[in-house]
Structure 1
Amino acid sequence: MNPIDLVLVEDDPMVMEVNEGFVKRIGGFRICGKAKTGKGALELIQELRPHLVILDIYLPDCNGIQILREIRRQGIPTDIILITAAQDVATVQAGLHFGIVDYIIKPFKFERIEAALNNYRSYAEQFRNRGEMNQEDLDRLIKILPSQESYYRKSREPLPKGLREITLQQVYNFLKERQVGLSAEEVAEGAGLARVTARRYLEYLEKIDQVLLETQYGSVGRPINKYKIVL
């Protein structure tokens, strides 16, 4: 498969450099443009029509959601991954409404953006050289995000102190995508979280009956706790 054309949009030069290094390290993507303002980003996207844009929300001249809205208004078929410090539900919902393919919260680890880009590469490959798709193909391709009611309403109580809704959804979605039992260490690495943070969210999801805890015993060493999503 040819490299996927990608545009980076980030106003912080140091973060831009880090993101660029991550993309090059992962491979399979060609950075065809970079922008540090919303105006510059929109001009690049209109000119280059890249497959993918990694877009920050907090830009000096506008909000990244405005760029996303304008891209959709113009009918530009570019996919968007939001990388941002914004964690409020309204912003997350706005991004999902305009069809983002992923949402990564700053600060993040390399493994999180690696997973996002690898998932996108697999997604793009599904459309290569296809004239049509059957239901089985679509069922494999489409990932339906769980509604917040799936666990918040069942708990019927506010989140414990120190837990955040967006991070809880991130952990839940990561488990749902894999559909296999994973340890807290595996979830932490895949979701770009600290190990102790991942364990706290997993324990809460188990408490409200959204994940099952499976203890695996090996021939030597301590038993390993694996968490699996309840479908």
Structure 2
Amino acid sequence: MTIRTLVIDDDYRVAAIHAASIDRVPGFASVGQAHTAAEARARVEELRPDLLLLDVYLPDEDGLSLLRDLRSAGAPPGCIVITASRDLGTVRSAIQLGAAYYLVKPFGFEQLREQLTAYRSWCERASGSGDVDQATVDSLYSALRGPAPRTHPLPPTMRKVLDTLRRAGQPLGAEALASTLGISRPTAQRHLSELHRRGFLSLELEYGSAGRPTHRYAVAAEH
């Protein structure tokens, strides 16, 4: 079972990062990207995705308004809302419109992976037919919520990396971090990548005039 996913985000670079992350999760495939509500409608009609990764802030229309219209037009794709909005009213609206989950930006790959995996598990369990008992209903809701957050302690050097980024107050790359902590650049990059994977850091790509983008990391809002 492959869940075909459409990424809807007004930021082209962020959309590309999310699409690449989706392709890393078993059972999922990114089938396209849209950067406006109008483009999203056309892509939904064209691609018939199974799942939307939907930003709330779009340049031409609120993402939840788009979701509402898709619902009123028939059976919409599943939806995971991704947004920087922490407004409780927005959260309530997303839930009322049937969003499977609500991820607050910035978030790391591990957070996205866990919710995608939970959504796939829910789809697999809900694909049957016939009557169910309360235990089955409970298991379906449990699958949709996903795993409880883990709180494993960080290794000492990784903790130093996180604390240094928190004190810096601005995104840093591996080279600057290595110089500050007196460690090698590969070691700094390894810790940065792992902290990003665990959801502690957000990643920014800084594009120069040529060549590969520079990776800069900042502490995610919830940490």
Please name the residue that 1:71 is paired with: 70
TM-score, structure 1 as length reference: 0.62
Which of 175, 188, 199 pairs up with 1:192?
199
Match of 1:183 in 2: 151
Alpha-carbon spacing, 1:57–1:137, altered in 2? closer, same or farther (3 Å): same
Q: Contact 1:38–1:62 (CA<8 Å) still a contact in 2? A: yes
Contact 2:122/2:143 (8 A) holds in 1: no
Pairs within 5 Å for 1:2-17: 2-17=1-16
For residues 37-116 of structure 1, what are the structure 2 equivalents within 5 Å? 37-116=36-115
> What pairs up with 1:212-223 in 2 under 5 angstroms?
none
TM-score, normalised on structure 2?
A: 0.64
Q: Distance in 2 between matches of 1:85 and 1:50?
A: 24
After TM superposition, give the deviation of residue 14 of structure 1 in Å. 0.9
User: What amino acid does structure 1 have at the position aligned with 2:122?
Assistant: Y
Aligned in 2, Cα 1:191/1:78: closer, same or farther, shift over 3 Å? farther
1:128 Cα deviation after fit: 2.6
Counterpart contact for 1:108–1:192, Cα < 8 Å: yes
Q: Which amino acid is 2:85 matched to?
A: A
Q: Aligned equivalents of 2:133 and 2:152: distance in 1? A: 36
Q: 1:103 Cα deviation (Å)?
A: 0.7
Partners of 1:53 and 1:79 within 8 A in 2:
yes
Q: What value does the CA root-mean-square deviation take over the aligned residues?
A: 3.0
Distance 1:90 1:189 in 2: 29
User: Within 2, Cα distance between the matches of 1:91 and 1:183?
Assistant: 28
What is the CA-CA distance between 1:131 and the residue it aligns to?
Answer: 3.7
User: Residues 86 and 122 (structure 1 numbering): CA distance in 2 closer, same or farther, change over 3 Å?
Assistant: same
Percent identity, aligned pairs only, is 33
Trace 1:139-178 onto structure 2 (pairs within 5 A).
139-143=138-142, 178=148
Partner Cα distance (2:13, 2:139) in 1: 37
State the distance in 2 between where 1:184 and 1:31 align: 31
Give the total of aligned pairs: 165
| Alpha-carbon separation, structure 1, partners of 2:151 and 2:29 | 34
Distance 1:132 1:43 in 2: 37
Structure 1 residue 19 displacement after superposition:
0.5
Distance change in 2, residues 1:46/1:108 (3 Å) = same
Rounded Cα–Cα distance in structure 2 between residues aligned with 1:189 and 1:132: 42
For residues 159-182 of structure 1, the C-alpha deviation after alignment (integer angstroms, 9 at most, x for no partner) is: xxxxxxxxxxxxxx88xx539xx5
Q: Say if 2:119 and 2:143, in contact at 8 Å, map to a contact too.
A: no
1:124-183 deviation line (CA, Å, top 9, x unaligned): 1102343443322111112599xxxxxxxxxxxxxxxxxxxxxxxxxxx88xx539xx53
Give the Cα separation in 1 of the matches to 2:100 and 2:127: 18
Do 1:46 and 1:76's aligned partners in 2 also have CA atoms closer than 8 Å? no
Distance 1:50 1:23 in 2: 13
Q: Identify the residue that residue 210 of structure 1 maps to in structure 2.
A: none
Give the secondary structure class of the aligned counterpart of 1:82: strand
